A and B are shown apart, each in its own frame.
Chain A
Amino acid sequence: MSELLHAEGIVKRFGSFTALKGVTFRLRAGEIHALMGENGAGKSTLIKVLTGVHEADGGTVTVAGRGIRAASPREAEAAGISTVYQEVNLLPNLSVAENILMGRQPMRGPFIRHGEVKRRARAALARLGLEVDVGALLGTFPVAVQQMTAIARALDQEARVLILDEPTSSLDARESEELFAVMRRLRDEGMGIVFVSHFLDQIYAVSDRITVLRDGALVGTWEAAGLPRLELVSHMIGKEVTAGGGDGGVISVGGAEAFRVEGLERKGTVGPLTFSVMAGEATGLAGLLGSGRTETARMLFGIDAATGGRVTAGAEAVDLGSPRAAMAAGLAFCSEDRKVEGIIPSLSVRENIVLAMQASRGVLRRVPRAEQEALAARFIAALNIRTRGPETPIGTLSGGNQQKCLLARWMAMQPRLLILDEPTRGIDVGAKAEIEALCGELRRAGMSILFISAELEEVVRNCSRVVVLRDRRQAAVLDGPAISLRTIMETVAAS
């Protein structure tokens, strides 16, 4: 088979951070090539370099033997590379036909030939085996049809390389199957397809080869048929399965049950989930990216409404109607998206720390300034927050120190259950260790923690119980001695 796309030694830096450290990627004509990796592996950066959204700082890209310098999405498209993004990047307010031909409409003088637009759109969709009213607005169709429209746009551009970035994340099983049928058909016509997905079943269902990235570097490329699932998972998270790591988790302190989650689910998103959270213990949520970890946390904190099941504390049902209700029930939630859902960037460290406490007291009962300052000083010292002072805007701090401020915000509330979603992501090693140590102290003080992390070792080190998620469902609950890297990975990789 001929080589269609060859990216050699791609380097991409963002400021002082190197997102891609000399990645090589080869795509053959007529293959479906899965691109895999956990958060921060560099998948999306690589895709953006290939599609001309980002300019590479080093390395070369050749398409069918010809070197290209794709500095814009337009040039990449001209070179035959098309992308279908997870959130379909089309225009719901225009017709299906227009979305396929936008910017390349056949013209007669200054006027668009609408009949010809529709004819070409129908032709492109027909290649995908889809027949819809191309004159109807795109937004009136389900996501599956919108995705097909995006692929049809690529076909009409005579794309030779098609990149599908998590195309199945909002599709149901039947729609995914239809998409796979189309992918196979295009592959057989000689197109090279790059497929990004977090669902192992789907990867194995359609892929010919698999490339794994980790921390911005290439781990390797394998024939899908010759790569066992467990091995794939271990490549992705960078841990040897055989090396044991069977620490058996943190010994349970035998605390009382603090919260019980029963059949909690949000239709089409995650669940049902059933597990207990013990006082003074950390419960882990483990699983690959996209397995429903964050979705579970958001449901528990009342951000996204659950459609079924319930949460109880002792005999009482917990109201999960809104974040405020969850806070009143003793829950606290430290979001994984620090910038968007965590910090108030232009406010000071002090103000960010007292924010949740102040919100729960109400607007009239202001936390006295002296108390605010004492609180800020205490947490800055206790969490070793490196800031010029309590009045420094939090936006100017490093990621790790911002994270500690947010931890302080919720610790000040003295919650009964602290939900930590990726508390150590994107922060330096020293800060990571400090945050883990802090979790230990909180546990010993009697607080329950729901610990979410893509770093399985962290989960093993900190948790007395681990809920393993696979494809947005609860796969297993591991207890005490059963917790090890190996058992978690085996549960994640099971089919």
Chain B
Amino acid sequence: MKVFRSTLVWPLVALVVLLVFNAVASPGFFHVEWKDGRLFGTVVDIFNQGARVPMLLALGMTLVIATGGVDLSVGSIMAVSGAVAAMQVNAGAPMVQAVGAGLGLATLLGLVNGVLIARVGLQPIIATLVMMVAGRGLAMLLTGSQMVPFANRSLTWLANGSVGGLPVPVVLVLGLAVVTGWVLRRTAAGLFIEATGDNEKASRLAGIQTGGVRLAVYGFSGFCAGLSGVLEAANISAADPARIGDTRELDAIFAVVAGGTALTGGRFSLAGSVVGALLLQTLTLTLYNQNVAPAVAPVPKAVVILAVCLLHSPRLRARFGKRTQPVAA
């Protein structure tokens, strides 16, 4: 939870390296200009696009992973909330109600994940995998598998407008990150999440309601995914139930893992995940600038995730190559 821990150093170093590479390879990378009362430039785009999806998803995913779980359904939940918001404004609902409906349903789906995991006792991968399939189906069913275009200024403003010169998503998501961090620190929620992920049995014996903790983090993850889905739809003034959030769960896991939160649960770093999301977005943009096809972009992402996990692997850390009996304790 502490903002400055040694784990934050590595994603920052990687980010700086990428930025330096871009500064050399593509002149004007750091060019930022003020036009029509707001900032424009590549760096602003990185923040904007990074905030809209990976950073937002990573906020929820960080807490889920800190409890020792994972949420594979975030991409599908994005599609559901985007679709709901789009259909609501098309039906004449005001923006706030449309967004509220999308977020509400998304949070509910997240809570369903939580119930399946904390109460029914399913493994997190399985429960969220089911939600990944069924959630995408729900989004397509709601929309008749058709793209839902809409013309609603205030909803579009959420993704494309600006506040004090900064894009709305940046303000919104960084604000949410700060508020989340503040709430986790001001209440005992952060402590309970870390304790649950680090040693669930001992936490329960110390009186923590670990089931409630798990339920809450999956609900929050659903909420974050929902907001991200609304912003994605708002960005292009249309909700595409098949495409919104597709394969974005990997982006979220990338941001969290690269940000220094271990997949085994326990200590987490929200700040690390925010930096991890920026790293991801910069990497994506760099590949784009180097004329790597967008569809190929997952390759280097996958390689980076595997590399980070290998570095975390106790086997590799202990003594590479030493053969030991593979007997599970």
Contacts and interface: CB of A to CB of B under 8 A. Distances in A.
Touch between A and B in complex, CB under 8 Å?
A: yes
Interface of A: 53, 72, 301, 303, 323-324, 327, 333, 335, 340-347, 351, 355-356, 358-367, 409
A390 to B, nearest CB: 14
B202 A342 contact: yes
Interface in B137-189: 186-189
A394 B189 CA distance: 20
Given A323-B207, A324-B209, A333-B205, A344 B199 contact: yes
Contacts of B303: none
Given A355-B195, A363-B188, A363-B189, A343 B207 contact: no
Given A72-B325, A366-B186, A367-B188, A359 B198 contact: no
A367 B188 CA distance: 8
Nearest to A327: B207
A341 B205 contact: yes
B47 interface: no
Contact of B208 (A335, A343, A346, A355): A355
Contacts of B209: 324, 359
Nearest to A54: B325
A366 B182 CA distance: 13
B202 A366 contact: no
29 contacts: A53-B327, A72-B325, A323-B204, A323-B205, A323-B207, A333-B205, A335-B202, A340-B201, A340-B202, A342-B205, A343-B199, A344-B195, A345-B198, A345-B199, A346-B267, A347-B194, A347-B198, A347-B266, A351-B191, A351-B195, A355-B191, A355-B206, A355-B208, A356-B207, A358-B192, A359-B206, A359-B209, A362-B188, A367-B188
Interface residues of B, number: 23
Contact of A359 (B186, B208, B266, B267): B208
Contact of A343 (B191, B202, B325): B202
A358 B205 contact: no
A341 B207 contact: no
A356 B203 CA distance: 8
A14 B198 CA distance: 25
Contacts of B195: 344, 347, 351, 355
A359 B193 CA distance: 12
Residue of A347, A362, A363 ringed by the most chain B CB atoms within 10 A: A363
Contacts of A366: 186-188
A355 B188 CA distance: 9
Contacts of A346: 194, 198, 266-267
Interface in B313-329: 325, 327
Contacts of B205: 301, 303, 323, 333, 335, 341-342
A367 B186 CA distance: 9
A365 B204 CA distance: 18
Nearest to A362: B188
Given A324-B209, A358-B191, A363-B188, A344 B204 contact: no
A149 B292 CA distance: 60
Contacts of A351: 191, 194-195
A323 B204 CA distance: 8
- In the complex, the 6 A-B pairs of residues with the closest C-beta atoms, listed nearest first: A359-B207, A356-B206, A359-B208, A355-B206, A366-B188, A344-B198
Contact of B207 (A340, A347, A360, A367): A360
B198 A363 contact: no
A365 B325 CA distance: 47
A352 to B, nearest CB: 9
Residue of A303, A335, A355, A364 ringed by the most chain B CB atoms within 10 A: A355
A301 B192 CA distance: 21
A396 to B, nearest CB: 14
A341 B198 contact: no
A344 to B, nearest CB: 5
B198 to A, nearest CB: 5
Contacts of B191: 347, 351, 355, 358
Interface string B266-304: 110000000000000000000000000000000000000
Contacts of B201: 340-341
Residue of A356, A358, A364, A409 ringed by the most chain B CB atoms within 10 A: A358
Residue of B194, B202, B206, B327 ringed by the most chain A CB atoms within 10 A: B206
A15 to B, nearest CB: 14
Residue of B188, B203, B267, B327 ringed by the most chain A CB atoms within 10 A: B188
B312 to A, nearest CB: 13
A324 B203 contact: no
Contacts of A347: 191, 194-195, 198, 266-267
A360 B207 CA distance: 7
Contacts of A340: 199, 201-202
A366 B189 CA distance: 9
B204 to A, nearest CB: 7
A335 B204 CA distance: 12
Contact of B188 (A301, A323, A327, A358): A358
A6 B207 CA distance: 50
A415 B178 CA distance: 38
Contacts of A409: 206
Contacts of A53: 327
A70 to B, nearest CB: 13
B207 A344 contact: no
A83 to B, nearest CB: 14
Contacts of B266: 346-347
A327 B198 CA distance: 22
A341 B205 CA distance: 7
A409 B105 CA distance: 40
Contact of A344 (B186, B189, B202, B325): B202
Contact of B187 (A327, A335, A344, A364): A364
A72 B325 CA distance: 9
B183 to A, nearest CB: 10
A96 to B, nearest CB: 24
Contacts of A341: 201-202, 205
Contacts of B202: 335, 340-344
